[in-house]
Amino acid sequence: MSGPKAEITSVLVTGGAGFIGSHLCQELLRLGRRVVILDNLNEFYASSLKLANLAAVRASAAAGRLAVLKGDIRSAADLERAFRALGDPQQGAVVHLAAMAGVRPSIEQPQLYHDVNIGGTLQVLEACRRFGVMRLVFASSSSVYGNNEKVPFAESDAVDYPISPYAATKKAGELLCHNYHHLYDISVACLRFFTVYGPRQRPDLAIHKFARLMRAGKPIPFFGDGTTRRDYTYITDTLQGVTGALEWLSGQSRPGYEIFNLGESRTVDLSTLVRLLGEALGCRPALERLPMQPGDVERTFADISKARATLGYDPQVAIEEGIGRFVDWFRNQG
Residues with active-site annotation: 166
SS3 129: helix
Q: Whole-angstrom Cα distance, residue 44 to residue 22? A: 16
| 94 and 124 Cβ atoms separated by less than 8 Å | yes
Dihedral pair phi/psi, residue 240, rounded to 5° = -60, -40
Q: Whole-angstrom Cα distance, residue 78 to residue 87? A: 15
| 163 and 146 Cβ atoms separated by less than 8 Å | yes
Sign of CA dihedral 236, 241, 244, 245: negative
Q: How far from chain centre, in Å, is Cα 299?
A: 18
Whole-structure pTM over 0.85, yes or no? Answer: yes
Kindly report the length of the chain: 334
Half-sphere exposure for 47 (CA within 13 Å, toward CB)? 6
Classify domain 10-194+235-263+302-314 at the CATH superfamily level.
NAD(P)-binding Rossmann-like Domain (3.40.50.720)
**Residue 164's pLDDT is what?**
96
Q: Whole-angstrom Cα distance, residue 325 to residue 187? A: 35
**Residue 5's pLDDT is what?**
61
Q: Percent helix, strand and coil across the chain, each rounded to 5?
A: 45, 20, 35
**Residue 253's pLDDT is what?**
87
| 233 and 193 Cβ atoms separated by less than 8 Å | yes
What are the 10-residue block averages of pLDDT along the chain, 334 residues in total? 70 98 98 97 92 96 94 98 96 98 95 98 98 98 94 96 96 98 98 97 95 95 90 98 97 94 95 96 93 87 97 97 97 85
Peptide bond before 152: cis, by omega within 30 degrees of 0? yes
Q: Whole-angstrom Cα distance, residue 155 to residue 305? A: 10
